[in-house]
Amino acid sequence: MKNKPSLENAYDLKSPEDNIQLYSVWADTYDADFIEKMHYRLHFCVADEFILNGGRGLVLDVGAGTGALAEQLLKRADLILDATDISKEMLEIAKLKNIYNRSFLSDLTKEIPVTDDYYDGVVSSGTFTHGHVGPSSMRELVRVTKPAGLITISVNEKHWKALDFNTELENISKSVKNYTLKKIDIYGEQSVHDHKDDKAIILTINV
């Protein structure tokens, strides 16, 4: 069953509809089943990089899920956070944590319902994985970020190579100040599952 909560099914998402179906049934147990059980650590790394590079102000958490990344950001800095996700059920869990200023639904394969140059920063952890969100979605993140703002997102390394994020990034680089790339482990040393050695690229863009 493709909508059965599991890491394999999460990696096998192919469309926005697949995403909505899976996370509608996974939302209630996602933090325990995935983040804790799988020793997921990507949100820690994204939070560290965003703050290390001067992240501040009003920040949009893209693909916010249950708010794992936001919780780590707020432990590191005094920020105002908005959340957006394609899953209504995941956002409902995040709302219960009282960590977001506001939250709203969006599909990253389309336009984010936000005006240009609105946020001081944009972050994302685990959204650009094996699935429907490809490199073209990075342009939307740049569009909604203010000049001199900061974007920090993670992209699964295999997904990065398969969809050629490098080419899209080179095109984007012509309209931003600069960017940096860092490869990190997605899961902790205690992980024993099949994807325990998977890597991610953390992309930081200075708009």
In a domain, 63, yes or no: yes
Half-sphere exposure in the Cβ direction for 111 (13 Å, CA)? 5
DSSP assignment string, the chain:
-TTS--HHHHHT--SHHHHHHHHHHHGGGHIIIIIITTTB-HHHHHHHHHHHTT--SEEEEET-TTSHHHHHHHHHS--EEEEEES-HHHHHHHHTTT--SEEEE--TTS--SS-TT-EEEEEEEEEESSSS--GGGHHHHHHTEEEEEEEEEEEEHHHHHHTTHHHHHHHHHTTSSEEEEEEEESB-TT--STTTT-EEEEEEEE-
In a domain, 35, yes or no: yes
Token output for 4 = 């059965």
In a domain, 2, yes or no: no
- For 85-125, write each residue's pLDDT tens digit: 998 998 999 999 999 999 999 999 899 999 999 999 999 99
In a domain, 150, yes or no: yes
In a domain, 118, yes or no: yes
In a domain, 1, yes or no: no
Q: Which domain holds residue 150?
A: 7-206
- Looking at the 3D structure of the chain, how many domains does it have? 1
In a domain, 111, yes or no: yes
In a domain, 82, yes or no: yes
| CATH code of the domain in which 142 resides | 3.40.50.150
pTM: 0.87
The span from the CA of 87 to the CA of 110, in Å, is 15
Taken as a whole, the chain contains a residue count of 207
36 vs 106, residue with greater confidence: 106
Q: What is the pLDDT of residue 4?
A: 54
Res. 36: pLDDT tops 90 = no
